[in-house]
Chains A and B, each alone.
Chain A
C-alpha cells in the first residue's frame, strides 16, 4: 500500500461520508462526485486505464450532471439558513449507507472464493477489451444496447405525452 493509495482512499471515503452527512442536496451530489473521482483514481492505480477513464467520462461527465439536474428540477435547492451544514437525519443516512456497504461487501467476500486466484495482476490492454467486447461478449453488448435504446425512447415518449397533455 503506497502513500498515493492512502491519499486517494482518504479522499474517496471523505467524499462518500460528505455525500451522506451534508444537508444541502447539491453539496451531497458534488461530494459524491469527489468519491467518483477517487474511485477513478483507484482504478488507475490498479493499471485499469479503461475502467478509470470510463468512470470519469460516465460518472463525472454524465451521472453527476444527471443527479444535480434531477435535484434542481424536482425540489428547491434553497436550504434553511439556520442549523449548520450537516443534515439532521445524518444518522439514518449513515445507517442506510453502512447497510448497503455491508450487503455489497458480504456478496463480494462470498463470491471471491469462486474466482480463479491470480497471484500477479493481469495486464489487460484496451485492445484486448475491445476485441473481447466485439468477439466473445458481442451478444451481451447488443442486448445491453437494445435495452438502453428502449429506455431512451421510453424516456422521450414519457416526456412527450406530458407536453401534449398541458397544451
Chain B
C-alpha cells in the first residue's frame, strides 16, 4: 500500500498512457510529465508568494494580505486576474521584439531545469548522464534574458539594473558551480539520480547526507549564499533595488509580462532549492531511517518548501548589500573558500575510512573559514559604528 502511495504519480501516468496505442505511449508519457511540472510549480509559486507576503508581514509587525477570502488565502487568484487583465504597455522607444522575447526566454529556460530534477523515487523526466551540467547550462541562459529585458526597455534604470544583475549572476555562478563539484567528486557521476542514490543510506538511524560531512557542509553554505545571489533574492537584490533604480530590469514591464518575470524569478528559486536539496540534503530520501515509509515526493517538496521559508526569513532579516561589498564578498571570500573546499574533499577522499579524516577535514574547513574571514575583515578597516541620528 505504502509503496503504491510512493509511486502514485508514476502509476497514474502509466495507467493513463495504457489507453493509447503502443507507438504513442512514449511521447504522451513525456507530455504528461511536462504538463505536471508546468502545473505544479506555478501553483507552488502562488502559495509561496502568499506565504512570503504573510510571513514578511508578521516579521514587520503587520498583517499582510487579509482581505480576499478567509485570511487572505485567495490573494494569489486576485493578483493573477489583475495581471491578466491589465493593459500591456510597451514604451514607444523600446525594442518591441526583444522586449517581448525577454520574459518568454526567462520562463522557458527556468522551467527546463526541472527536467532533470528527481522529485521522488522514479520521478525524473529525463535521467541524463550529465544532468548537473544541463541544469547549470539552463540557469546560465537566464542571464541573457535579464540583459535583453534591461537593454530593450530603453530606460537607464532598466539598463543599470540589468548590468548589475548580469555582473552579480556571473560572479556568483562560479562559486555555485564550484560548490557542487565536491558532490560530483564524491559521487563520481554528474547524474542527479546517482547523487540521490548515493545519499540514501543510513548509519544507525541517521542519514548519510552530504551536508553532514565537512566538505559537504562548507559546500552547502556556499551553495546557499550563491543561490540566493543567483536568484536575486534579498540581501542580494541590488538588481531590483526599489529605492535606487525602481525595479531594475523589469521597470518597463506591466501586466502579464511582469507576471511572467515574477513567475520566472520564483520558479528559479524553486529550481535552485530543488537542486540544493538534491545535492546536499538527500533529495527525496527521508531524514531518519524509520521514517522511510513516508512517500519520497513528500520529502522532496517538504525540503524545498523549507528552503523557500529560509529564503523568506533571510529576506525579512538582512539589509541589502552595497555593490562593492557584493563583489568583494564573491571574489575575495567565497571563491577562495570554495576552491579550498575542493582540496578538503580531495584530502577526505584519499585519507580512507576512519575518524581521523573527520577530525582533519573539519579542522581544515573551520580553520580556513576563520582565517579567511578574519584577515578579510581586518583589511576592511571597520571602525566603531556611530548612529548619528539615533543618539
Q: Which residues of A contact B (CB under 8 A)?
A: 26-27, 30, 33, 49-50, 53-54, 56-57, 60-62, 64-65, 68-69, 72, 77, 125-127
Contacts and interface: CB of A to CB of B under 8 A. Distances in A.
Task: Determine the main DSSP class of B at the interface with A.
Answer: helix
Given A30-B148, A68-B147, A49 B141 contact: no
B129 A61 contact: no
Given A56-B137, A57-B137, A60-B140, A49 B151 contact: no
Contacts of A26: 151
Contacts of A127: 129, 188-189
A34 B229 CA distance: 27
B129 A65 contact: no
Interface string B185-218: 0001110000000000000000000000000000
Nearest to B151: A26
A25 to B, nearest CB: 11
Nearest to B147: A68
A134 to B, nearest CB: 11
B190 A33 contact: no
Contacts of A64: 144
Contacts of A61: 137, 140-141, 143-144, 173
Given A60-B144, A62-B140, A65-B143, A53 B133 contact: yes
B9 interface: no
Given A57-B133, A57-B136, A65-B170, A126 B141 contact: no
Contacts of B129: 49, 125-127
A49 B134 CA distance: 9
A9 to B, nearest CB: 21
B140 A57 contact: yes
Given A30-B148, A61-B140, A64-B144, A53 B166 contact: no
B166 A69 contact: yes
A60 B98 CA distance: 16
A69 B166 CA distance: 9
A60 B137 CA distance: 8
A72 B140 CA distance: 20
Range, interface on chain B: 20 to 34
Given A49-B128, A57-B136, A62 B170 contact: yes
A41 B372 CA distance: 42
B15 to A, nearest CB: 30
Sorted from nearest, which 3 A-B pairs have the closest CB atoms?
Answer: A61-B140, A56-B137, A53-B133
Given A62-B170, A65-B166, A68-B151, A33 B133 contact: no
B92 to A, nearest CB: 12
A64 B105 CA distance: 15
A69 B146 CA distance: 13
B317 interface: no
B98 A30 contact: yes
A57 B133 CA distance: 8
B130 A53 contact: yes
A26 B130 CA distance: 32
Contacts of A68: 147, 151
7 contacts: A50-B133, A53-B133, A53-B134, A56-B141, A60-B141, A61-B137, A72-B159
Contacts of A65: 143-144, 147, 166, 170
B128 to A, nearest CB: 7
